[in-house]
Amino acid sequence: MSTAQYAFGMIGLGTMGRNLLLNMADHDFAVAGYDKDAEKAAALAQEGAGKNVKGFSDLNEFVQSLSKPRAVMMLVPAGKIVDDVIAELIPVLDKGDLIIDGGNSYFADTNRRVVELQDKGLHFFGMGVSGGEEGARRGPSMMPGGDPEAYKVVKHIFEAIAARANGEPCVTYVGPGASGHFVKMVHNGIEYGVMQLIAEAYEVMKKGLGMTNEEMQQVFEKWNEGRVKCFLVEITKDIFKYKAPGTDHLLIDDIKDEARAKGTGKWTSQVAMDLQAPLPTVDSSVAMRDMSKYKQLRVQAEGLYGTPAQLDANREQVLADLESAFYFAMIVSYAQGMHMLTNASTEYNYDLKLGEIARIWRAGCIIRSEILFDITNAYTKNAGLEHLLLDDDVKTKVSGAVGGLRGLLSKTMAAGIATPAFAASLSYFDAFRSGRMPSNLTQAQRDYFGAHTYELIGKEGKFHTQWTAK
């Protein structure tokens, strides 16, 4: 075998890594993969039969097979494993080579690795990859961030394998440092929000309206043909048709109501608080995943307090309100995420192009949806747009849908059906459109008990009052 014949290398030949390499091979790139598990390396060679792709289980051989400057991508679990792989790579790479972390690493860890590897003469990229198994194989959305000169080494490969929307590849250079992983983190936060909204819609239909699985499937199918069309609704309509082999009922009814998470939603909420960028739709989504873990306590509480009542309303009207509510809250979920990116761009000097970010989310990724075309247009016509809800076209869409959410919540709250993400979305909107919030009272209270001072309207300076007579 001759050396230096492969243009791109992948470490980690699990489902995502293997499928991305095969995608590259489909586009006539010569690619190599490495995994300590020799069986995974052999599986890559077998699946890539007839293509210019090779699997390795020896790291040195793998690295030597790559053309310079070498581009090595990792798709391994976030955390210590990433640092371990980097430590193994450093001695066998040369200055000017490029390491790409395509996993869901925490952006602060990526910042640290950028600096550490820069000192060693190596380029480091943190790149968000979205689309799951199918996206990796057929076209993902990718969010690379790091050295713009180093990106040029792999730009043509990523643009070739990316998903496409309106003929445009769903990948763009995001910005410096850890910006790629930061954008992917916010993407995942939005994903949490939309997933929770769909779960609450399911709850309303099942408990509030007593609908059958078949009836709910028809609703999700209809939704996916209209303005709320998105990947997450698309897969939901499929879930409500799937029966496990050998059974006569839907698999969804056998799955425990305890949701898991890998941490990206929690990170989004935590960092949003640091940036003072409120996103209560995401916060409530993270909280409900946590709530779901307390199954035994929830069963006990149900025995004490009873179950929700069915909605005392016309079914067709409730379903119409529910569709409007979902449309409204989905837009608000995106708006919260984009506002967080606006704040992060300033705080971390990322210089994010929000129109470009929305553009690359239009296909390939988990949060792809029809509304992203409108979001892209909003930031394209006004790159300095401070908040998505201030766009005139978005205002029209939100104003036309908010009445459905108000009508829905009045019914679900009366019946005792939990719809926290819907409620959080509406409260966020109502607070955002309030020219005067009751926060003046909060400041007065803080000054009363802690002498934290306050500011006055039309008067410079900070003030303190002795609120009670001595």
pLDDT digits (tens, 9 = 90+) for 370-379: 999 999 999 9
Q: What's residue 4's pLDDT?
A: 64
Q: So what's the architecture of 8-173 in CATH?
A: 3-Layer(aba) Sandwich (3.40)
CB-based contact 17:75 (threshold 8 Å): yes
Residue ranges, CATH 1.10.1040.10, the chain: 184-433
Its pTM stands at 0.94
Single-letter code of the amino acid located at 420: P
pLDDT tens per residue, range 434-448: 999 999 999 999 999
Annotation-wise, does 130 bind a ligand? yes
Q: Does pLDDT of 356 surpass 60?
A: yes
Element (H, E) at 9: strand 8-11
Residue ranges, CATH 3.40.50.720, the chain: 8-173
Q: What's residue 469's pLDDT?
A: 77
Which of 347, 337, 352, 341 lies closest to 174 in space, CA to CA?
352
Element (H, E) at 456: strand 454-456
Q: Does pLDDT of 81 surpass 50?
A: yes
Annotation-wise, does 192 bind a ligand? yes
Q: What's residue 342's pLDDT?
A: 97
Annotation-wise, does 132 bind a ligand? yes
Q: Which residue has the tokens 């569709």?
A: 323
According to CATH, what is the number of the domain 440-469?
Answer: 1.20.5.320
Single-letter code of the amino acid located at 291: M
- Structure tokens, 66: 């790559």
Residue ranges, CATH 1.20.5.320, the chain: 440-469
Query: Which class for 394: exposed (0-12), middle (13-18), buried (19 or more C-beta within 10 A)?
Result: buried
pLDDT tens per residue, range 163-187: 999 999 999 999 999 999 999 999 9
Catalytic residue IDs: 184, 191
CB-based contact 40:55 (threshold 8 Å): yes
Annotation-wise, does 187 bind a ligand? yes
CB-based contact 97:124 (threshold 8 Å): no
Q: What's residue 463's pLDDT?
A: 95
Instruction: Judge: domain 184-433, CATH 1.10.1040.10.
Output: yes
Q: Does pLDDT of 51 surpass 90?
A: no
- Alpha carbon distance 418, 428 (integer Å): 17
CB-based contact 182:145 (threshold 8 Å): yes
Annotation-wise, does 452 bind a ligand? yes
Query: Which class for 434: exposed (0-12), middle (13-18), buried (19 or more C-beta within 10 A)?
Result: exposed
Query: Which class for 260: exposed (0-12), middle (13-18), buried (19 or more C-beta within 10 A)?
Result: exposed
